[in-house]
Amino acid sequence: MNRFHIEMESTKLANGLDVVVAPDSTAPVVTVGIYYKIGFRLEPQGRSGFAHLFEHMMFQGSANAPKMQHIKLINSSGGVLNGSTSYDVTNYYEAVPSNALERVLWLEADRMRALKVDDENLKNQRDVVKEEVRVNVMNQPYGGFPWLDMPPVAFRNWANAHNFYGDFADLDAAHLGDVQAFFKTYYVPNNAVLLMLGDVKAEEGIALAKKYFADIPAGAPPPFADPSEPEQAEERRGNVEEKFGTLPAMAIGYVMPARRTTDWCAMALLDQALHGGRAGRMHRDLVLEKQIAVEAGGGIDDLFGYNGPTQMTTRILHKPEYSSQQTLDAFDAVIRDVRENGISADELEQLKVKWRSDYYATLEGGRGGYLPKFGLMHLLACFTLFDNQPQLVNTILEGFLAVTREEVQSAAKKYLRNERRAIVFRTPIKAGVADSAGKKEAA
Amino acid sequence: MASRAMEVAIGVPALAPERAVTWPKRTRARLSNGLEVILAEAHSIPKFHGELFFRSGNAAVADRLPGLAEMTATVARTGTTKRASRQIEEDLRRIGAELSSGAGADTSAISFSGLSEFAEPLLGLVNELAREGSFPEGEFERERRQKLEEVKMERTQPGFLASERLRKILFGTHPYAQVSPSEAQVAAYKRKDLEAVYRELYAPANAILLLVGDFDSNTMLKSAEKVFGGWAGKKPDSKAAAAPPNPRGRRVYLVHVSGAVQTQILAGCHAITRKHPDWVKLGLTNSLYGGAFNSRLVMNIREDKGYTYSPRSGVSALRQHGYFSVSAAVRNEVVAASLTEIFYEMDKLRSVPVPQPELADAQNYLSGVFSMGLATQDGLLSQLSTVALNELPDDYLETYRQKVRALTPADLLETARKYLDSANMQIVVVGDRAQIESQAALFGDLEVFGAQGARLS
């Protein structure tokens, strides 16, 4: 078996900024990322959606790079850039020809040191964010399902249960004072990690990190609200209307075990057994064999990237001639089978090979698609911020490959229980379209 | 226009000298049965990516039924004379592989990736799917019903409704006008029709195999010969459809979606294919207009006015024809205002030469992003397949950046005048008629359609 090893070097600057460099001179391209350890989970109450709105503000101007300059300077260096907000981190990243590395570091340091934005910028980005929510959620069939529909049903702590994209009233209420306070509290070097991956030497990367970031003063350690959930003891259910789509849908989420435990590794393989594409049991049973569902997939969203309560969630769109109960019964049969019978040695072996293969793919490209080493950046950042161990990227695979059949079945029995789950039904407000020639075909 | 004055950044580090961009050596071969093979080594991870392309897609069989090549590709992966559907899926998982099959307008493809240590079994399965598909009756029936649900679902997505309408307007009776079958057409699919398409199109002389990844090219080529060498079959007849008429005059097509809380704008006009000598010029012009975050359109309607989240423009190159288009999902109140800016930026590029510094920025952007394809196996595969499928010159990758950098403001002015054809743009708006019709009608004669495709006025 080939083992794939990532070369890296890491350090912590005096101001608390973590720095990780992973050199690889295959292509004359370098990916730079900064991750701040704050996401939408712990954004201020009464300001739902603020962490994401704030992420937009980070592109609106800093002390020496006014509005539009940040984007212009990266694009005109031959690079691409973006940012994203998730549960527990917010990231900013660029992939550029390696001759632009210093320029990128200068820009990132400038906005870590001093954000410089005004009311006009805030109004502009509030408008942009509202169109983002409309295009991704409010004007799309099954928009936000289940990632926005599930939390208020599944969780009781506001941190885990609120609208992460933001209620429009909360977005409207946000003002410049909130922006500056959030920046001052969480966007401090001692709450961040800087990553350089690709065409940069380790010692060069660390020297440049010092050159551009060392004089940014540390901030007070940021306060973090407690995201823990009271123990769930009953199945929870909720309903959401579907405005455009005509197929009934449901999502079933089970609370996950704590990160980096044996149960967690077993659940990751169980997730592959249940949701691993066309070979996964959900798709195979519900779509291919019983033909109740049109779509049955999902699983753990970003296994390595969360640092608080989360779920493994199955998303099902089913044919209207099957009731919700019939569909749920078919889903439950899949769960029951894995709880009662576990998985075979042969299936476990297949899952491990696929898991290893997928892990390598994540390291090379991953969720960014167009962005080289996005996945490696994400893993190194999360392992640094959550575990203080970027080297985990080279060892974490072992834990998954060591999982036994007994551990998989034990995790299924322990975590795939009705009193640990929540179900959201997304119900179309209009029935199927009348003029469809193929209507009876779907029976 | 109340735009803010652009401020400049202070103290920006200069760019270091560029490191040379070296594209990996490609090994090209033709197997004894005529199958063309292109390989490139990329050792970033212990995996490889591949595509088995056939140079015929939905357009080649559109005279039978729309989407027939796509349906053929879908069912082809569900059974062979040796393996049933479930076996295929488990065998893929056993070797850590991903595989998908599909067809666009011009090609059909089996796309795959997997661990290098299992390269030969994966190639073996690809070969089996390409040659020994058994089209099981039950699988065909299930996939057909699945497709019916998919085509119903598409009609609830604003992006689909916009692109479907635009393609109909731009391509008329040409096969490129069909982006998806209707429910009635899916209902009319027959298993034997799929088998006929499979027998005709899936032939080595019609195929090209691309492999990129962590392998030794000579060894991999031997594996390919061993696996695919015995495959025989003749090249299908190809017939080019008559060129579609180029629509003249700006017209507006409103697709009514009751209750839409946003409007999807998509406007387009005829352009060129990748083989055309103006292709690189148009790429750069597009990048300045709306093809990059830093482009004029994004800076205008997003960063200045906040009308939209994701405006963009692009050039879509099909094999026989290409088209230029611009899209934005905007709030209902600013449909007219957004269209005004969309045309303003187009007309400005058509009438005022691009300042030299802005041109240099765009040249850097396009040549930098082009080289990112080097950094990942699938990025490189995608570049190689573009070259191979469009029959571009062998040195296309090596010379692209020079061609971009050689362009002048005069080239761009000429290109914008030719292809950013603002007077003849066909405008599609998808949204709630009551909220947007009067705004859209300001831009040309307007017709209204329903989401199911019927004309409403």
For B111-167, write each residue's pLDDT tens digit. Answer: 999 999 999 999 999 999 999 999 999 999 999 999 999 999 999 999 999 999 999
For all residues of chain B together, what is the average pLDDT? Answer: 95
* Closest chain B CA to residue A107: B12
Three-state SS for A385?
helix
CATH 3.30.830.10 domain position(s) in chain B: 26-228, 251-450
Residues of A in contact with B262 (CB under 8 A): 131, 134-135, 138-139
Tokens of B75: 């069912």
Tell whether B379 lies on the interface with A, counting CB pairs under 8 A. yes
Distance from CA of B295 to the nearest CA of A (A): 9
Tell whether B243 lies on the interface with A, counting CB pairs under 8 A. no
pLDDT at site A3: 67
Question: What phi and psi values does residue B51 have, to the nearest 5 degrees?
Answer: -140, 130
| pLDDT over 90 at B238, yes or no | no
CB contact under 8 A, A139 and B95: no
Q: Using alpha carbons, select from B33, B108, B55, B48 the residue that is nearest to residue B77.
A: B108
| pLDDT over 60 at B411, yes or no | yes
Mutation for A interface: B153, B330, B376, most A CBs within 10 A? B376
Unique residue bearing structure tokens 């594409």: A277
pLDDT at site A439: 32
Give the pLDDT mean for B233-253: 92
Q: Using alpha carbons, select from A14, A18, A5 the residue that is nearest to residue A386.
A: A18
Distance from CA of B204 to the nearest CA of A (A): 28
Give the pLDDT mean for A139-165: 97
| pLDDT over 60 at A435, yes or no | no
Nearest-angstrom CA–CA distance, B367 and A76: 10
Tell whether B27 lies on the interface with A, counting CB pairs under 8 A. no
CB contact under 8 A, B372 and A27: yes
Binning pLDDT at 50, 70 and 90, where does residue B240 land?
Answer: confident
% of chain A surpassing 90 pLDDT = 93
Q: What is the DSSP string of A231-295?
A: PP-S-EEEEEEESS--S-EEEEEEEPPPTTSHHHHHHHHHHHHHHSGGGSHHIIIIIIIS--EEE
Q: What is the 3-state secondary structure (H, E, C) of chain B?
A: CCCCCCCCCCCCCCCCCCCCCCCCCEEEEECCCCCEEEEEECCCCCEEEEEEEECCCHHHHCCCCCCHHHHHHHHHCCEECCCEHHHHHHHHHHCCCEEEEEECCCCEEEEEEEEHHHHHHHHHHHHHHHHCECCCHHHHHHHHHHHHHHHHHHCCCHHHHHHHHHHHHHHCCCHHHCCCCCHHHHHCCCHHHHHHHHHHHCCHHHEEEEEEECCCHHHHHHHHHHHHCCCCCCCCCCCCCCCCCCCCCCEEEEEECCCCCCEEEEEEEECCCCCCCCHHHHHHHHHHHHHCCCCHHHHHHHHHCCCECCCEEEEEECCCCEEEEEEEEECHHHHHHHHHHHHHHHHHHHHCCCCHHHHHHHHHHHHHHHHHHHCCHHHHHHHHHHHHHCCCCCCHHHHHHHHHHCCCHHHHHHHHHHHCCHHHCEEEEEECHHHHHHHHHHHCEEEEEECCCCECC
Selecting from B85, B262, B369 the residue whose C-beta is nearest the C-beta of A135 gives: B262
pLDDT at site B457: 78
What separation, in Å, do the N-terminal and C-terminal C-alpha atoms of chain B show? Answer: 35
Supply the pTM of this predicted model.
0.95
Interacting residues of B52 by C-beta distance below 8 A, sequence separation 6+? B109, B110, B112, B126, B130, B207, B208, B209
Which residues 267-296 of chain B have a CB within 8 Å of chain A?
Answer: 292-294
Binning pLDDT at 50, 70 and 90, where does residue A430 land?
Answer: confident
Q: Using alpha carbons, select from A217, A404, A278 the residue that is nearest to residue B78.
A: A278
Nearest-angstrom CA–CA distance, B71 and B76: 8
Give the pLDDT mean for B418-424: 98
Three-state SS for A399?
helix
| pLDDT over 90 at A329, yes or no | yes
Burial of B328-360, coded b for 16+ CB within 10 Å and e otherwise, reads: bbbbbebbeebbebbbbbbeebbeeebeeebbe
Tell whether B183 lies on the interface with A, counting CB pairs under 8 A. yes
How far is residue A288 CA from its own chain's centroid? 29
Selecting from A128, A288, A350 the residue whose C-beta is nearest the C-beta of B309 gives: A128
Give the number of other Cβ atoms within 10 Å of residue B86's Cβ.
15
Unique residue bearing structure tokens 């205002």: B337
Selecting from A4, A96, A141 the residue whose C-beta is nearest the C-beta of B368 gives: A96
Identify the H or E element spanning A128.
Answer: helix A119-133
Mutation for A interface: B15, B335, B366, B432, most A CBs within 10 A? B15
Identify the H or E element spanning A423.
Answer: strand A421-428
Tell whether B302 lies on the interface with A, counting CB pairs under 8 A. yes
Q: Does domain B26-228 have CATH number 3.30.830.10?
A: yes
Unique residue bearing structure tokens 């191979």: B388
Binning pLDDT at 50, 70 and 90, where does residue B6 land?
Answer: low
Distance from CA of B239 to the nearest CA of A (A): 31
Give the pLDDT mean for A406-420: 98
Q: Is A437 left (phi over 0), alpha (psi -120 to 50) or beta?
A: alpha
Pairing mode, if any, of strands B36-41 and B207-213?
Answer: parallel
| pLDDT over 60 at A442, yes or no | no
* Closest chain B CA to residue A294: B146
Selecting from B7, B261, B302 the residue whose C-beta is nearest the C-beta of A138 gives: B261
Q: What is the ipTM of this complex?
A: 0.95
Give the pLDDT mean for A61-69: 94
Q: Using alpha carbons, select from A246, A208, A237, A50 the residue that is nearest to residue A146.
A: A237
Selecting from B145, B309, B376 the residue whose C-beta is nearest the C-beta of A372 gives: B376
Q: How far is CA A362 from CA A97, A409, B84, in A?
A: 21, 27, 30
To the nearest 10 degrees (0 to 180), the angle between helices A119-133 and A50-57 is 120
pLDDT at site B5: 57
Give the number of other Cβ atoms within 10 Å of residue B176's Cβ.
24
Query: What is the CATH number assigned to the segment(s) A9-213?
Result: 3.30.830.10
* Closest chain B CA to residue A129: B309
What's domain B251-450's superfamily in CATH? Metalloenzyme, LuxS/M16 peptidase-like (3.30.830.10)
CB contact under 8 A, A99 and B90: no
| pLDDT over 50 at B326, yes or no | yes
CB contact under 8 A, A288 and B375: no
| pLDDT over 90 at A437, yes or no | no
Unique residue bearing structure tokens 């094999």: B319
CB contact under 8 A, B368 and A278: no
Tell whether B308 lies on the interface with A, counting CB pairs under 8 A. yes
For all residues of chain A together, what is the average pLDDT? Answer: 94
% of chain B surpassing 90 pLDDT = 93
Tell whether B82 lies on the interface with A, counting CB pairs under 8 A. no
CB contact under 8 A, B329 and A79: no
pLDDT at site A409: 98
% of chain A surpassing 70 pLDDT = 95
Q: Convert the pLDDT of each residue in A38-53 to its tens digit.
A: 999 999 999 999 999 9
The fold for domain A236-442 equals Cytochrome Bc1 Complex; Chain A, domain 1 (3.30.830)
pLDDT at site B180: 96
Distance from CA of B230 to the nearest CA of A (A): 30
Distance from CA of B59 to the nearest CA of A (A): 23
Tell whether B142 lies on the interface with A, counting CB pairs under 8 A. yes
Tokens of B113: 């990736």
How far is residue A253 CA from its own chain's centroid? 16
What's the DSSP call for residue A310? -
| pLDDT over 60 at A433, yes or no | no
Three-state SS for A299?
strand
pLDDT at site A434: 38
pLDDT at site A440: 31
Give residue limits of the domains in chain A: 9-213, 236-442
Burial of B426-457, coded b for 16+ CB within 10 Å and e otherwise, reads: bbbbbbbbebbbebbeebbebebbbbeeeeee
Which residues 193-222 of chain B have a CB within 8 Å of chain A?
Answer: none
CB contact under 8 A, B144 and A358: no
Tell whether B333 lies on the interface with A, counting CB pairs under 8 A. no
Give the pLDDT mean for B392-405: 95
pLDDT at site A365: 85
Unique residue bearing structure tokens 């065909």: B140
Q: Using alpha carbons, select from B367, B39, B82, B369 the residue that is nearest to residue A372.
A: B369
What's the DSSP call for residue A441? G
| pLDDT over 80 at A369, yes or no | no
Q: Convert the pLDDT of each residue in A196-218 to its tens digit.
A: 999 999 999 999 999 999 999 99
pLDDT at site B301: 98
CB contact under 8 A, B372 and A24: no
Nearest-angstrom CA–CA distance, A68 and B143: 48
Is-contact A304 A383, C-beta < 8 A?
yes
Three-state SS for A53?
helix
Q: Convert the pLDDT of each residue in A271-286 to its tens digit.
A: 999 999 999 999 999 9
Q: How far is CA B16 from CA A98, A102, A197, B13, in A?
A: 8, 8, 17, 9
| pLDDT over 90 at B374, yes or no | no
